[in-house]
């Protein structure tokens, strides 16, 4: 007969085992490469987090690489697509030594989702590693893959056990310098300065990241009389560092100026990944 302590340990270990398994299943972030592992679980058409999606849609070349438990001579590959099929351009297989050989190449036929794109390989290549190439600019929207089946010449069917990708929409939710918006790191003059030289002929703002520089800015006002005049013929523009935007101004003495650099309403200051900069209010006063 078990002692109470043994029984408690037994129940605790069962609990820990189940919670670990649950954690692993739940831990694969939505749209990550890991969502293409295992059997299909995205049976209806649409943008679903139980399938892999690249970070950007319509961005050109992307790939999804899948690993399988058992090497086989490839007979058939079945690619389950749940959203905007038709972007696959090539499928290759890797040998144990790492040599990549093309199994199929071409323009995937355009079909309605959900779709199974079936490739009859008839290949003597023995492999447990596939790479699917897409041209995401070919079919509008995200081109999502739910699962990929590898069928051997011996009839053995398997789903992927691991996956990686050129990019994933899951990284949208990671907190990295790349995923978070740019902020203002410097202005000339500085916010709060009460003794700005009125002969200053430009206001410059520097952001924390590389920005979209081509006519993308948003200096806005809270009232006409607190916004500086821009001299005729002068233009706003970025410096060569791609981070500093300069606005030519004509200031008046003894006056308070208020300038939104992006605002709750306008947000054309954007980094190269199209994240709008966090709004910043620049307030200063001239001598
Ligand atoms: Ca899936």
The span from the CA of 66 to the CA of 46, in Å, is 22
**Which mean pLDDT values do the consecutive 10-residue runs of the chain (287 residues) have?**
50 46 60 97 96 95 98 97 98 96 96 97 92 97 98 97 96 85 98 98 98 95 97 96 98 98 96 95 98
Ligand 1 centroid to Cα of residue 245, in Å, is 44
What's the chain's Rg over C-alpha atoms?
Answer: 28
What's the pLDDT score for residue 5?
Answer: 54
What are the structural domain ranges in the chain?
A: 33-173, 181-287
> Considering only CA atoms, which of 273, 60, 40, 29 is closest in space to residue 146?
40
33-173 and 181-287 share one CATH topology? Answer: no
Residue 229 contacts residue 247 (beta carbons within 8 Å): no
pTM above 0.85, yes or no: no
> CB within 5 A of ion ligand 1: which residues?
35, 41, 50-51, 146
> Where in 166-252 does DSSP place strands (E)?
184-188, 202-207, 219-220, 237-238, 244-248
Ligand 1 centroid to Cα of residue 103, in Å, is 23
CB neighbour list of residue 240: distance below 8 Å, 6 or more residues apart: none
Ligand 1 centroid to Cα of residue 207, in Å, is 39
* Superfamily covering domain 33-173: Galactose-binding domain-like (2.60.120.260)
Whether domain 181-287 has CATH 2.60.40.1220: the reply is: yes
């Amino acid at each position: 007969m078990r002692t109470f302590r043994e029984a408690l340990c037994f129940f605790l270990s069962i609990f820990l085992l189940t919670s670990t398994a649950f954690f692993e299943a739940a831990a694969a972030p939505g749209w990550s490469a890991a969502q293409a592992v295992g059997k299909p679980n995205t049976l209806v058409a649409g943008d679903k987090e139980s399938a892999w999606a690249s970070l950007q849609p319509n961005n050109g070349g992307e790939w999804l690489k899948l690993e399988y438990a058992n090497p086989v001579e490839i007979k058939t590959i079945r690619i389950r697509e749940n959203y905007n099929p038709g972007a696959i351009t090539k499928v290759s297989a890797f040998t144990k030594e790492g040599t990549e050989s093309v199994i199929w190449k071409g323009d995937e036929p355009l079909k309605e989702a959900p779709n199974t794109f079936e490739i009859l390989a008839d290949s003597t290549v023995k492999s447990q590693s596939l790479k699917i190439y897409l041209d995401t600019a070919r079919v509008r929207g995200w081109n999502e893959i739910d699962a990929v089946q590898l069928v051997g010449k011996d009839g053995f069917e398997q789903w992927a056990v691991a996956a990686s990708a050129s990019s994933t929409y899951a990284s949208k939710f990671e907190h990295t310098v790349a995923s978070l918006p740019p902020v203002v790191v410097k202005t000339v003059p500085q916010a709060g300065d009460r003794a700005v030289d009125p002969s200053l002929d430009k206001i410059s703002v520097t952001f924390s990241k590389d920005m979209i520089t081509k006519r993308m800015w948003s200096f806005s006002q809270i009232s006409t009389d607190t916004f500086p005049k821009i001299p005729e013929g002068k233009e706003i523009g970025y410096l060569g560092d791609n981070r500093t935007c300069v606005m030519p101004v004509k200031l008046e003495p003894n006056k308070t100026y208020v300038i939104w650099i992006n605002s709750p309403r306008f947000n054309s200051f954007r980094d190269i990944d199209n994240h709008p900069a966090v709004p910043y209010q620049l307030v200063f006063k001239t001598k």
